[in-house]
Each structure stands twice: as C-alpha cells, then as structure tokens.
Amino acid sequence: MYSFLVILHSLNRFILLALLLIILYRSFTGWRSKSEFLKTDNQLSLFLFISTHTQLLFGLILYFISPFVIFSGASMKDSVARYWLVEHITGMLIAIALITIARISMKKLSSGEAKHKRMFIYNGIALLIIILVIASNQRGFFSISW
C-alpha cells in the first residue's frame, strides 16, 4: 500500500504542477488583457483545487505510514528526518492554503481582471513554495520513489 500511495502522490504532483502552470499562464494573460474570467478558467481552477486536495489526502496518509517520518526529538538533528517530519508538510500546507484561498476568494470578485489577478498572485506564490520545497528534498525534482 505504501509504494502504491507514493506512486500516486508522485504522479499527482505532475498533474498539479501542469495545472498550476496552465492557470498561471491563463491568469497572467487574462489579467494583462483585462479579459473576462471564462468557464474554462473556472473549470481549471476547480480541477487544480481537486488535484491539490487529493494530493493533501495522499500526503497525510503517507505522513503517518512513511518510514521516513520519524516522530521523535532526534529527528530535528537529522536533516533528512526533519525535512519529512516538518519542512515538507509545512511548506505544502502553506501552498495548499494559498491555492484554496485563491479559488474561494476569486469567486467573490466581480470583474474578470480582478479574478485573473487574484489567481495569478496566490497560485504563483504557491508554485514558488512547492518548487522550493520539492527542490530542497535532495532526491531530485523528477524522482518518483523514495
């Protein structure tokens, strides 16, 4: 079960990153051209929201069954154990919160330009955090297994 969840978590990462890049491109161009927030933009945002929360579910299950997450004070002295126990989950929870805030708060805005701007800023910061957290794990960005 552990290996299967790791693969799902890793594969969903690429879906999530692809959706983020597409949304960032569409949001940036929509914001700059002051265009309407289309049904396609809303659907992409919804798919990102679903993918992000699916990733969270896989990640939380892995957090509690992974042999790399060691719940002890000694973990703080070991950089690899600390990464999996604290740094990875903290960074990813912040990114998930930003993506969720972008989706929910965007709905309350009336103009397409404002929606695109909100989506671009929040999702852009989330992508930056995700890339920094993934890059700091010392496994390689495209690694699929632990």
- pLDDT for residue 70: 87
Contact (CB, 8 A) for 37 and 116: yes
- pLDDT for residue 50: 97
- pLDDT for residue 145: 47
Whether 142 is covered by a domain: the verdict is: no
Whether 143 is covered by a domain: the verdict is: no
> Would you write out the chain's pLDDT as a tens digit for each of its 146 residues?
899 999 999 999 999 999 999 999 999 999 999 999 999 999 999 999 999 999 999 999 999 998 888 898 888 998 888 999 999 999 999 999 999 999 999 999 999 999 999 999 999 999 999 999 988 886 665 554 44
Whether 25 is covered by a domain: the verdict is: yes
Provide long-range contacts, Cβ within 8 A and 24+ apart, for 38-47: 38/112, 41/115, 41/116, 41/119, 44/19, 45/102, 45/103, 45/106, 45/119, 46/103, 47/19
Q: Give the separation between CA 118 and CA 137, rounded to whole angstroms.
A: 29
Whether 145 is covered by a domain: the verdict is: no
- pLDDT for residue 94: 98
108 DSSP 8-state letter: T
Longest dimension (CA), the chain: 53
Whether 71 is covered by a domain: the verdict is: no
Residue 60 CB coordination number (10 Å): 12
Whether 62 is covered by a domain: the verdict is: yes
The count of domains in the chain is 1
Provide the domain limits for residue 126.
Answer: 2-66+81-135
- pLDDT for residue 80: 87
Region label for 17, one of left (φ > 0), alpha (ψ between -120 and 50) or beta (otherwise): alpha
- pLDDT for residue 7: 94
H/E stretch holding 43 reads helix 39-65
Whether 33 is covered by a domain: the verdict is: yes
